[in-house]
Amino acid sequence: MKLKKIKLYNFRSFGEKEETITLSDLIAIIGGNSCGKTTFFNALLRLFGENQKEREITRADFHLPPGVNPDYIDQSNLFIETIFEFPEVADHNGIEEYTVPFYFNNFVVDSEEGVAPYIRIRLESTWQRSNQPEGLVDTNIFFVTVPEDVPPESQNKMPVSQTHLSQIKVIYVPALRDPSSQLKMVSGTLLWRLIRRINFDGSFKTEISQKMQGVKDTLSEHVGITKIKELIGQQWNNYHVDDRYSQLDLHFNTQDIENILKKIDPFFSPTEIENGYTVDLLGDGLRSLFYLSLVGALLKTEEITLKEMLEDPEKSPDERLFSVIPPCLTIVCVEEPENHVAPHLLGKIVKNLREISNNDNAQVILSSHSPAIVKRIDPDEIRHFRSCKTKRATLTRTITLPDQTEEAYKYIKEAVRAYPEIYFSSLVILGEGDSEEIIIPHIMNLLDDRISAHEIAVVPLGGRHVNHFWRLLYQLDIPFITLLDLDIERGGGGWGRIKYCLEQLLKNGVDRNQLLKLENDSILSAEELSKMHKWENMDYLEGWVNFLANYGIYFSAPLDIDFLMLEAFSDQYVALLSKGEGPEITIGEDNKKILNLTAEEKTGAEYAMRIASDVAATLKEGSNKGTKEGKEYTATQKELMIWYRYFFLYRGKPSTHMRLLSEIDSEQIIEKLPDVFKKMQKKVISKLNLKDTAES
């Protein structure tokens, strides 16, 4: 028995658009703070919580749409529906003998071949205004006996008994884990549930009582204890003169096993001190891990008992090791397993949770906003939650992998796991490499310091194809913009780069008639688009570059971001050099610094050969025949390629940019900043729904 889907409507942060979340043996709900992860767990607790408080629907559980005054609402409705499949019916793994009888009468069997039988358990609740301050809440839970694509009617609803609901357990492990509270023998705690499951037979209890009675008698006869009783009795009789309650004795309540178990306290050793450590003395991380250990132990008792029941059905409950009646399904909900835990231990946590989920009667749902967790989860096990600011509601997405094995592998390796910070961002800026990762955040914050207050991830593509990231971000509906190298005269650059962007936008659902519409209102044909990379007329290139900005795609032109910055701040980059640094050239028999050349030397053959060499190096060996001369670049730009080669091919790009950004003042940067960054800043402001400072 496995939970396969949960549908939420109007429950807390889930709004008036029904959200369906599919599940597997283990899934990870990821997203930023306040995006609905805890609400999802609360929805499960409303159906399958272990106490009345967890199951109670209150006025606060009903979603309030933005802009709506709650005082004007007379009635509101919500529902939580769960769909459980029974794959064991087809697998015949033995557990069907235990799970199927409980729910057989409520099975839904689709006509579609290969679909396992399933049940629908649905909670519906209505709030309406009344003369009571909180209004009236009417909640019902029932089986729905029609297929899930059929809306339930009253004749298709069968009441669910608490017996049926109790066969599905939800163990909720909160983000703030305090094992001390779970180590008390108080009803409902983890330790209480563990100890209460042990079968203590009558002879064992009698033996314990007899032995403890001897201890009690020995203590009572001690001269010090006798004297204390006498002194307290004398003082008591000074105040109390009635015959009733006049006799005083001191009893030691450790004679029966129940009282003994109340004194259980785990100790950890060896330690740095003579005595062992109690849980309270452990660090936050170890306490968190011990909390998870208690949960694991609880599940092991159920696993052992279920195995005994299936292997020997005739054995009476009193003969088993544990007296627990295992549920048909246990769902473990772990909130933020990374809390207080060192990153290298997260792998163990995920491994142990996965082992739990592999059991036929267990599932694991964890929530996280840690990239370290995401890297340890398969992409098809990720459910992405985010909060829509305009609707003030949770939106959920599942990562859809491509069908082809090779393409799926690339997609997983290059996009889904490559940079997990994107899942927790309010905006993603995609750039080509390390230079963008350094330059873009610095400049964006200089242009508008409000940007730094938002969760913006600058993701270096690092040689990975941008189409995979676009596909992922479109799927998850995360806002993003992209800065690509235009790479004129480099392999795949120029018109090839424009073509690539257009093709990927079409694959991601952009309207062809809008995207490929020309100035004469004609539509660029598929054949014309397929040959765009061969276009040689550069007069129209700038127009397409500007047009793609409407789709959040910008270009470092004419080459890349390093050349873009060098053009704007050439004097500042050169000023970073110490004495004796800089590119050299051999003229005649002398080696000279480029900086020290005379005007006459710059007209010589050696200088022309040096420019040609550096242009070829800058435009790379992979360029097409006849393009390495830099025919689309001005004479000044070609000269700059000497410095490009020196700064960015011989030296480290990140360190060079970091020195520039740290050593020149902000006003100078903004004054000489290339226009593409200012256009990007306006797009960022727009996508973050911030009012442009220029308009305020």
pLDDT, one tens digit per residue, over 547-575 is 999 999 999 999 999 999 999 999 999 99
344 to each of 229, 340, 372, 462, how far by Cα in Å?
A: 57, 12, 9, 25
| pLDDT tens readout for residues 135-167 | 899 999 999 999 988 889 999 999 999 889 999
Domain boundaries, the chain: 1-178+323-398, 196-264, 399-562, 570-663
Per-residue pLDDT averaged across 406-410, rounded? 77
Strands (E), 340-455: 362-368, 382-388, 393-398, 427-431
Share of the chain above pLDDT 70, in %: 91
d(CA 59, CA 446): 45
Strands 329-335 and 168-173: parallel
Using the structure block, give the residue that is written with the tokens 């809008």: 514
d(CA 566, CA 484): 17
Per-residue pLDDT averaged across 99-111, rounded? 85
Contact 8, 18 (CB under 8 A): yes
Whether a cis peptide bond, with omega within 30° of 0, leads into 270 is yes
If one counts every other C-beta atom within 10 angstroms of the C-beta of residue 224, the result is 8
d(CA 594, CA 589): 15
- The pLDDT, as a whole number, for residue 448 is 85
Contact 98, 1 (CB under 8 A): no
- Amino acid residing at 679: K
Share the mean pLDDT of the chain. 85
Number of residues written out for the chain: 696
- The pLDDT, as a whole number, for residue 623 is 44
| pLDDT tens readout for residues 29-48 | 998 888 899 999 999 999 99
Which residues lie across from 428 on neighbouring strands? 457, 480
Residue 51 pLDDT more than 70? yes
Contact 267, 276 (CB under 8 A): yes
Residue 265: pLDDT band (50, 70, 90) is low
- The pLDDT, as a whole number, for residue 370 is 84
| pLDDT tens readout for residues 176-221 | 776 566 555 555 577 777 777 777 777 777 777 777 777 777 877 8
Whether a cis peptide bond, with omega within 30° of 0, leads into 558 is yes
DSSP 42-111: HHHHHHH-SSHHHH---GGGB---TT--GGG--EEEEEEEEEEE-THHHH--STHHHHHHHHGGG-B--S
| CA 10 from centroid of its chain's CA atoms | 23
Higher pLDDT, 302 or 168: 168
Backbone angles phi and psi of 397, in degrees to 5: -140, 150
Q: Where are the alpha helices (DSSP H) in 491-604?
A: 495-507, 512-515, 526-530, 541-548, 561-568, 570-575
Q: How many CA atoms lie within 13 A of 248 on its CB side?
A: 14
d(CA 168, CA 176): 24
Higher pLDDT, 453 or 133: 133
Residue 627: pLDDT band (50, 70, 90) is very low
- CATH classification (class only), 1-178+323-398: alpha beta
Residue 275 pLDDT more than 70? no
pTM for this entry = 0.80
d(CA 181, CA 185): 10
- The pLDDT, as a whole number, for residue 240 is 66
Contact 366, 390 (CB under 8 A): no
d(CA 17, CA 100): 33
| pLDDT tens readout for residues 60-92 | 999 998 888 888 888 999 999 999 999 888 877
Strands (E), 277-381: 329-335, 362-368
Contact 564, 674 (CB under 8 A): yes
Per-residue pLDDT averaged across 580-602, rounded? 89
In this structure, the dihedral spanned by the alpha carbons of residues 200, 203, 207 and 212, taken in order and rounded to 10 degrees, is 50
| CA 520 from centroid of its chain's CA atoms | 47
- The pLDDT, as a whole number, for residue 183 is 56
Residue 411 pLDDT more than 90? no
